[in-house]
Structure 1
Amino acid sequence: MTLFLLLLGLVVGVLGDVASNATKPLFVNVTADLYCFPPTLIPRLEYSKILNDTTAQFLSLYFTYFNLPQDDYLTIRAINSSAQQTYIYTIDNVPIPPFFATPIFGQGLLLEVYSLGTIDCSSSMGFTVKNYRYSGTSNSVEADCTPTSNDLPPTCNKVPQLPYFRGSQAIARLLINAPKGAQWCTGWLFGCQNHVLTNYHSKLMPAPLLLIFVHIVLYAQPRLATLPLPWAIDHSREYSCGIFSKFGLCTCTAECFCVQKQLFENGHSTYVGGMPIYIPQHPLGQGMVVGIKTPASGDGQSLTSTYSNCVGYQIATLPGSSGSPIISTANAVVGMHSCGGNCKSGLNAGIPAPLIIKDLVRQNKLPLCAIAPALSFFNPPLPVFTALGTLFQRALGITMDVYKLNIDASNQVLELEVTSYQQSLVSNTFNDVLGLCDGSYFNTKLYILYQNDNAGVSVLTSNDNRYEATDSGYELKSYDTVLNFVVNAGTYFVVVGSAEMIDLDAVNAATATITSAAPAYTGGALFQCGQPGASYGNYQLSVRITGGNDTITSWTCQMPVLVRVKNATDSSYNFLSSCSYHKEPNLNIESEFQGSIRKLQNTTATSVLHIALTILAGSMVSIDVVSYQEFDNGTTISSAFTENGNCDATYFDAVLYLFQDTTSNNRKILDVKYLLAIVDDIPLHLINEDIAFGNSVRDPFLKLYLPPGKYVAVLGRYPLGVHDAVYLTAPTPLNDELLGPWKDGKVSNNGNVKVLFSTSVPDALVPPQDPIDASQDNCTLWLLLSCF
């Protein structure tokens, strides 16, 4: 009977398998003198040596030299072992030295050399052993049936109808005996073509002549198999969760008894969260135990299937457990254990079965009978609500939206899905996934936080991107996030953000909703038709839970209004060729005014303009500053004064700030935590577009979406800093003469400016109030300068 070994990639986690080079000295040096006798027809036993070690898990001799005559051979066989183990080595079948011999699973071996003699007494004939390896991990201890243990051997539940017994009969204890070290792991038989599936241990397996040793557990009927691995490995695929896919096939050189094969669940859904599971395993290379309970003595279950695209759970594992099947109580494999605790948030992680199936199919290596019919033993989450929202680019980062959920039932699978991304990873084509006729989107990320006993918040779980194994829309939606987790009754916060959002960002956003603190921001980029730098990005959040509407007793969200294009056929919209469904609204001038900054007499300060704005309806808004009266080559714009409406020929190099107004309209001291935008010169991508009224790139131009609310536009002389912008005056820098204001190219005491405000929604802007002037009576109201 033939046995194949299939290896699945693994980057070992904190509790992943650790290689051991536990060796003891043993010097054997057989020279050419042993073979110098006339040739015979019957091999003669010319040398033998016994090795006993009562502390050994196995015995593997380390050959540093091997050059036997052509017809001679060396045997290594077990003594005092319940299983027959004999291995023959010739000059034709050994790897290039140095190498470790096939392990003898036992505590005694006999090495024998048989020779037919030779007339070539070359000094190069012979072999050398310098030490032997005896352990892959700590000493092996077979498990017992201690009632208090959360991990019990299946023989403790040896009842045919119990899943723990039935599902554990196909488990294999594997020893990797590579030049870099020996390592235990776990695998299992699956399919009906005698395959063994396990993890690929990247730290040990890249040896061209690697030996894997399989111990199939049949409860008193063990069989051992030596599997030399040919190097036919696929390096072309990288999994998420840090896992590389490398597969190899190899043939068993000894008889292997096949028992019940485990079957993959052919799940066509990404959902496996919440289902009861158990994990039969060989921790530390010891006797098999079955992980059934969690450390808190709860029943083992898959807590999430979106754990960086892995299955997440709290069933205990140890080094040597890698490669164990994750089995549902319906006796179907839903994944393979691959990463020990603290890989992320302290959960253990396994590769989901659909991901393994997909890659095996891709490589045409999926055995027959390996996939079970799709099962329906769980209750999928039910829809509760769907919300549309928008994230905004602000000066301090990208906003985050927070949803507060009150859940009144325990052991519920809460599942979240965000839809936003509109560009295919393969074809680069665009799709209006939200039906808003708007091409603004972002790479999403989700967090679930819970309110703790101290009225604070703590991170429960998070996920970026979606699970691609069973998602037909993956090419378009791979940057959209799906997140599920088993939750109990309590208060939870769902935070929607960009992919660069980290734990601290999510905690700050959720905390701000409780304490009414300043808004929190995260990093990243928002996109419009494939280009970064958009001022906003739309999304849709779908919330589902096992118990449906009756489970979530209330939900609220701290979020701005949705940016929406309401009239898809309105002729006032401009179409962008990169994604033709996107409609950029035209902006119409709603208000304009003129003002001045001045060097204050008897002081070393320059005035700063604070202009109050009120937005009545959410709208795209542009703020166009016109002041600078020189072309970029330094020549004066002689006719600019009349065109700009200024009363004289003074101007300055302007800097524009936009704040959310938190001062109850007194506008004297603004809060830098509510800064929305900073603009110095006109953005480079707008220089060639006819959208700004200024004649120089030194005039700022700002375009962004503003929800309804109160704002303050701040204008000052370059290089106005943000901490000066919140006041009505700014200190004069040392190089004041070089920074203006100017008149006819010469330094002036004041500089005029005109500001035009445009909106996409008619009457969305209340005409701005007159700016406050710091030059009169310590920040009292200043009458706007005008021409008479």
Structure 2
Amino acid sequence: MPLKTGRRKAGIAIAGSAALVLAAAAGTTAWHAAGSRQPVGSWHEAPAAAGRTPVAAEQRAGERSDEPTATPSTSPAETPSSEPRLAPESATLSPSTEATTVAPAAGSPERPVESDTAANGRQQVGELVKVSKLLGYLEGKPKKETFKYPGASYVKLHFGKMALAPGDYVTVSDADGTESYRYDAGEPGDRWAMSVTGDTAVLEVHRSSAGEGDDLGVNVDRVARGFSRTEQGRQPEKQLNPPGRTGREESVCGADTSSDAACYKSSDPVAYTKSKAIARLLINGTELCTGWRIGPQNRMLTNNHCFTTTAQAYNTEVWFNYQCAQCGGYDVYQPTKVWGSKVLATDKTYDYTLFSVDKFASVQKYGYLNLDTKRPAKNQELYVPQHPAGEPTRIAGSLGEKAGNCAVANPGYDGYAPGSDVAYYCDTEGGSSGSPVISRATNKVVALHHFGGCPNSGVRGDLLAAKLGKLL
């Protein structure tokens, strides 16, 4: 079946293994090996020239499933995303077949670090950069353009136009071509490409035809550049607070006792395995929430304040397996990236959005979580897998110790409705919105995290189970 809304045909696959030596200097990014269990990336800052292993990557997303949409608690409006559109700047390219765009330094007047975003509870993890670059079919127009943003954690291109002759296609790749996404003729423009890891994206037009014309070409009108760790550390926390609270409260309650998910691999294998079901959500190219697979079907759960419509889900990247390879290390596994697909249900009072993803088969291997239909008891121990401040998966709550701050403090806390939440002091940060709060007694989800403020809180799992049961 043809794509209903011109879904980009792109995905990522990991191929044969190879090895490169990790640079010894601190702050260097290197990719070691491809494969499901080998580290292939690094999440700390990278210099301009970082070596990578071939992580093959040209995979087309399958056709959109024609899955029926269930009636939501609050109907999602099928409207385009409300993200601001940036007017492209004029630019002149010298006649050549290849060009390079290098951004001004982060924090400079031309490119401030802070992005002007509303305090919506989503964590800022990047910024939008205005560009105007045309790869055309006419003589003198480049066929290849390199977008380089030194130190960026990812680069994500937006096509204002993509008009190709039949049989032609474009690719967006990282600097070494080890991560690459393909977009074919016939797919409409005015949409985001999938992000590529690292500070460089290479856009190339591949022509198999002799077609020419003023109306043919590819235009990039803006770029989302992921913050480096230094820049990310300067971003204010964007967690929401319960009604009536000042917003000044911390959400890391006391000393931060959360740890990389990899730290739990041996000491708490159940928690480590469960953490695989969560995903990093990159929304509108620059904002972050956490989501997770709920039940065995193609279902994901996050907060209503993360997004509410199918149009917004469609522009959301869902990253699975974005985890450190070793406890306390910097090397990360190559994430499996898929696109959000349809919003199936959403509700502001109970702050949830249930949605599906494209290419579901590629993420089934990461497992799923279930809601606990019973209310947790006070002092019941908890753990929270999450993506705080955009970091690889961390888990709050340690096994083998008294729960300390990661336990149920109040099983009937007031959220947007009286008694709708579970309160706890598990450490969370901006970006943790939408994380599952899991009972150590049952390994089921007792709350959907949405508020910071110490106590932090999440919507009760038993209430969500009652509302969403028929859709799971």
TM class by shorter chain equals 0.5 to 0.7
2: distance between equivalents of 1:188 and 1:64? 31
2:357 matched to which residue of 1? 250
Distance (whole Å) between structure 1 residues aligned to residue 119 and residue 148 of structure 2 = 34
Q: Which amino acid aligns with 2:198?
A: G
CA RMSD of aligned residues (A): 3.9
- Aligned mate of 1:280, from 382, 385, 397: 385
Distance 1:161 1:18, change over 3 A: closer
What's 2:168 paired with? 72
Corresponding position of 1:213: 318
Residue among 337, 345, 353 paired with 2:461: 353
CA distance, structure 1, for counterparts of residue 217 and residue 296 of structure 2: 44
Pairing 1:290–2:395 present: yes
- Given candidates 183, 189, 195, the residue that maps to 1:89 is 183
Measure the CA separation in 2 of the matches of 1:157 and 1:246. 29
Instruction: Label 1:159 to 1:17 Cα distance change in 2 as closer, same or farther (>3 A).
Output: same
Q: In structure 2, which of residues 413, 421, 438 is the aligned counterpart of residue 310 of structure 1?
A: 421
Aligned to 1:127: 218
1:22/1:205 Cα in 2 relative to 1: closer, same or farther (>3 Å)? farther
Alignment of 1:195-206 (within 5 A): 195-202=299-306
Matches within 5 A, 1:164-563: 164-176=271-283, 178=284, 182-193=286-297, 195-202=299-306, 207=311, 209-217=314-322, 220=325, 221-230=333-342, 233-234=344-345, 238=347, 242-252=349-359, 255-256=362-363, 258-267=365-374, 270-292=375-397, 298-308=404-414, 309-330=420-441, 331-341=443-453, 346-361=454-469, 364-366=470-472
Structure 2 runs not aligned, ≥5 long? 1-60, 75-116, 234-254, 326-332, 415-419
Alignment CA distance shift 1:175-1:350 (3 Å): same
Match of 1:108 in 2: 200
Query: Is 1:62 aligned with 2:174?
Result: no
Paired AA for residue 186 in structure 1? T
Q: Report which of the two structures shows the higher radius of gyration computed on alpha carbons.
A: 1
> 1:146-165, CA deviations, whole angstroms, 9 ceiling, x for partnerless residues?
xx741111322331545543
| Per-residue CA distance 1:693-752 (angstroms, 9 max, x = gap) | xxxxxxxxxxxxxxxxxxxxxxxxxxxxxxxxxxxxxxxxxxxxxxxxxxxxxxxxxxxx
Shift of 1:321: 0.5
Quote the Cα distance in structure 2 between the aligned partners of 1:299 and 1:311. Answer: 14
Q: Secondary structure at the match of 1:261?
A: coil
**Post-superposition CA distance 1:309-365 (Å, at most 9, x none):** 111112221111111110112322211111222xxxx4212121122222222xx32
* Native 8 Å contact 2:153 2:198 kept in 1: yes
Q: Cα distance 1:216–1:128, how it changes in 2: closer, same or farther (>3 A)?
A: same
Letter of the structure 1 residue corresponding to residue 392 of structure 2 = G
Quote the offset at 1:271 in angstroms: 4.5
Answer whether contact 1:57 1:140 (CA < 8 A) is retained.
no
Work out which of the residue numbers 148, 151, 168 in structure 2 matches 1:52: 148
The residue number in structure 2 matching 1:642 is none
Give 1:47's aligned amino acid: K
Matches within 5 A, 1:707-722: none
Q: Per-residue deviation at 1:111? A: 1.4
Q: How far 1:206 sits from its partner (Å)?
A: 6.2
Letter of the 1:355 counterpart: L
Report how far residue 301 of structure 1 moved. 0.7
Residues 758-773 of structure 1 mapped to structure 2, 5 A cutoff: none
Tell whether the 8 Å contact from 1:8 to 1:198 is kept in structure 2 after alignment: no
% same residue: 22
Residues 206 and 20 of structure 1: CA distance in aligned 2, closer, same or farther (over 3 Å): farther
Cα distance, 1:59 vs. partner?
0.7
Q: Is the 8 A contact 2:276 2:320 kept in 1?
A: no
Which amino acid in the other structure matches residue 263 of structure 1?
Answer: N
Instruction: Note closer, same or farther for the CA distance 1:19–1:92 as it changes in structure 2 (3 Å cut).
Output: farther
TM-score by length of 1: 0.37
Give per-residue Cα distances to partners, 1:485-523, cap 9 Å, x unaligned: xxxxxxxxxxxxxxxxxxxxxxxxxxxxxxxxxxxxxxx
Mapped contact 2:413–2:421 kept (Cα < 8 A): yes
* Cα deviation, residue 69, structure 1: 1.9
Alignment CA distance shift 1:258-1:222 (3 Å) = farther
Between Structure 1 and Structure 2, how many residues are aligned? 326
Letter in 2 for 1:316: D
Matches within 5 A, 1:646-657: none
Q: Which has the higher contact order (CA 8 A, sep 6+)?
A: 2
**In 1, distance between residues paired with 2:213 and 2:446?**
59
**What's the secondary structure of 1:316's corresponding residue?**
coil
Q: Deviations over 1:290-320 (max 9, x none)?
A: 1228xxx934111112112111112221111
Task: Summarize the Cα distance change of 1:160–1:194 in structure 2 as closer, same or farther, 3 Å threshold.
Answer: farther
Q: CA deviation at 1:217?
A: 3.8
